[in-house]
Amino acid sequence: MKVTYFQQVPYRTLPDDFEKRYAESVVTTPYFETTGPEGVRDAFRQALDECMHAARSGFEALAITEHGQSSYDMAPNPNILESALAYATEAEGIATGIYPLGRSLGKSREPLRAAEELAMIDNISSGRLIAGFPVGLPYDANVNNGVPPAETRLRFDENLELVLRAWKDPEPFAWNGRFHQHPVVNLWPRPMQQSPRPPIFITGVGTPRTMEFCLERDFGFNYFGWFGVKLTGQRIFDRFWETAERLGKPQNPFQMGFMQTICVADTDEQAETLFAKHVEYFYQKGIGSIPMERMAIPGGTDIRGLESLFRDPGDFGIFSRMRESSFAELVDAGSVICGSPATVRDQLSELVKKFRIGNLHAMLQFGSMPHEVAKDNISLFSQDVMPHLQRIWSDEGFEHHWWPEALGGAPKNESAH
């Protein structure tokens, strides 16, 4: 399997009583009351340093997400950070994927800019781009960017088609869509990966429509484990593979990506001592401090998605109580896997085999975790856990169609879709 390093840019020194004083970690969180300029500057430098440490440690891609007006992730455009990483890894001769995992197209009012940015990264990296296109979180797309909830998915669909055509069409063309009108589209630059285009993954929360869309279009699908994979995993992954079977699609594990928060130390006891406070910081002050009304705005989910949630509201797992959850409760839910290399290795191996996951995004810095602790976590994981995971699926005969050819992938031509 492929193991990528997953990075956000959190503000690491929020007030101790943050979750008690402030209503949320996004949109309305006061900036000057809770931050200092050095802390913000350091967060970006440290995030880039951690990514480069992961690249040098052998991770197969560097994945970065996108969130606006957010204290738990201050990266409103991952392409800016990924372009720096593309150059730095190319300069050092490190063959690792450059993976802007979250360039939201549901909120984008300038999809051609996103297409150009990603094409630029593909050229800087000599064809190592993996493109991530989430629909977009409601608080970000609808509140921060003013997109009506009912338009989010419609914009995503149109924007994605415009990006794909702009990457590939050899001749200038006019575009007269519902949301965008362009008399001439003639993208400069185009992606270096032209036979076929760069691999694409769509990140979602597990709605049936998004899963069907990925399978019908032969895109990869990413799911994040913050909600507690022990609570949500069975229903989410079963839904994907059952949908694949119904549509007559092969159950290739490389089409599935999964992000997991992970902590590794020499022993289970040391891991809890070292990481518990940082786990609680991330979930209580960060993800868990996003109110549900920011995550599920009326009009943003189609009828099939609503029907699925009404039948099985457990898709959100532990989310509604994260703000009060202890380290032990978060471990029990599977929101974090924490322990010795053997403990982490065994739990991750069981999880990826059970759910047919071919791409693991390892989140090894989060919340208040200091820079040096994060680097140690990256090192120990890469040395004592990652090699065992990379062997999974190696003898099953699956080809990775969602990975750059320059990095050993076997991408399909568009005609095969």
Percent of the chain, pLDDT > 90? 80
Average pLDDT, the chain: 93
The owner of tokens 């950070």 is: 81
Residues 71-92: tens digit of each pLDDT? 999 999 999 999 999 999 999 9
Q: How far apart are the first and last CA of the chain?
A: 23
Q: Examine the pLDDT at 315 and tell me if it is beyond 90.
A: no
Rounded Cα–Cα distance for residues 53 and 376 (Å) = 10
d(CA 290, CA 72): 10
* Mean pLDDT (whole number) for 267-272: 98
Residue range of the domain that includes 209: 2-416
**What is d(CA 395, CA 376) in angstroms, rounded to the nearest whole number?**
31
β-pair type (61-64, 173-176) = unpaired
In this predicted structure, what is the pLDDT of residue 413?
A: 75
Is residue 118 a contact partner of residue 129, using CB atoms and an 8 Å limit?
A: yes
Q: What are phi and psi of 197, to 5 degrees?
A: -70, 175
Residue 361 β-bridge partners: 4, 259
pLDDT of 310 > 60? The answer is no
CATH code, domain with 16: 3.20.20.30
Distance in angstroms (rounded) separating the CA atoms of residues 50 and 56: 10
Q: How far apart are CA 244 and CA 255, in angstroms?
A: 11
Helix (H) or strand (E) holding 159: helix 152-168
pLDDT-derived band of residue 308, with 50, 70 and 90 as boundaries?
low
Which pLDDT belongs to residue 343? 98
Integer angstrom CA distances of residue 187 from 169, 179, 374, 404 = 9, 19, 39, 21
Cβ atoms of residues 392 and 400 within 8 Å: no
Q: What is the pLDDT of residue 227?
A: 86
- More confident site: 102 or 45: 45
Residue 393, class by beta-carbon neighbours within 10 Å (0-12 exposed, 13-18 middle, 19+ buried)? buried
Q: Are 401 and 218 in contact (CB under 8 A)?
A: yes
DSSP letters along 305-319, please? Answer: HHHHHHH-GGGGTTG
Q: What is the pTM of this model?
A: 0.94
- Of 103-107, 242-246, 296-300, 334-338, the poorest mean pLDDT is in 296-300
Domain count for the chain: 1
Read off the pLDDT band of 415 (50, 70, 90).
Answer: very low
At residue 97, does pLDDT exceed 80? yes
Cα–Cα distance for residue pair 118/100, rounded to 1 Å: 8
162 in Cβ contact with 186 (< 8 Å): no
Cα(271)–Cα(338) distance, rounded to whole angstroms?
6
pLDDT of residue 416: 39
> Quick one: pLDDT at residue 137?
86
Identify any residues that bridge with 353 across adjacent strands, giving them in sequence order. Answer: none
Nearest CA-CA partner of 364 in 307, 279, 295, 270: 279
Q: SS3 for 282-306, per residue?
A: HHHHHHHHCCHHHHCCCCCCCHHHH
131, β-bridge pairs: 200
